[in-house]
Structure 1
C-alpha cells in the first residue's frame, strides 16, 4: 500500500472547477496513485510511472522526479542509484487531473530506463491486418550504460 502521507493539494470540486479552474486537485486512484508520463524536455517519451501524494509533493518541492515503486513498495527518487537523475522542467496535469506529464532533463548518459536505454519504450507492437501474434520489434534500443555494472548482477 502506498504511503499515507498527504500532500497539500486542493480539494476536488465540481466538474467545472476540476477541468477549468486553477486549483491543483490531482485524482489519485483507489491505491493512492496517479500515473505519470515522462518525456525528455527536448522531445520523446522516456517512461511511465506512478506517483503517490508523497512522491508528487517531493517532485514539486525539489524539482527532481520522485515516484512510487509498486514492486518495492517505496518512494524512489529517479536516478538515486544510477545517477541518471531527472530534473523537472515542466509538470502538467490533464483535463480531469488524473494523469501527469513531466518534461525532464536526464543527468548522466541521458538514459531513463533501468535496462540502460534512453527510453523504456524500445519495442514496437505491430498493428494492422495480420499483426496479432507478431513478435515485438526493437527500436531505439541502443544501451547507453551497462545495467549490470550500474545496479549489480
Structure 2
C-alpha cells in the first residue's frame, strides 16, 4: 500500500502470538502504526519480543504498540486492550487498516491460553468496523479445527454488521 501511494497505514494484529516479524519491519517508521494484542511473552511464544516497552525507535518511536496479556485473559480484559489499540489507530487516521486475524485466542484453542468465545468474535469484527477504514483481513492462526471457520465467519459478520 505504501508503495502505491498510501501515506499512513495501520496494522492491527489480533493473533494470539506477537507479530514479531511485522514489528521488526516497521519498528523505525512513522508511516505505519503497528498494534499487537497477544499472550504475555514471558508465557507465550515468541518469548523474546512483544513487551509493552517496545514502542519503536527513531522516526518510529511511538508507532509500535504492544498489548501483552496474561494466561486466562477473558474477553472483557482482551476487549479493553482492543479498545485502547483502536483508539490509537483512530487518532493516527490511517488511509488503510490491515488486520492480522488470528482466532487462536479462542477458549478451546490447543496452543493458546485466552478465553474468547465464538460470540466475542462478532463483537470484535463490529468494533474494528467502527473505524470506518478500508480494511484488509489477513488470516493467521487458529488451531481448533472444528471452530476456526466459524470464528472467522463471526469476525466478518460482525464487521459487515456496521453500516
- TM-score under structure 2 normalisation? 0.23
Determine which structure has greater relative contact order: mean sequence separation of CA pairs < 8 Å that are 6+ residues apart, divided by chain length: 2
- TM-score under structure 1 normalisation? 0.24
Which has a greater percent of strand?
1
Bigger Rg over Cα: 1
Which has a greater percent of helix?
2
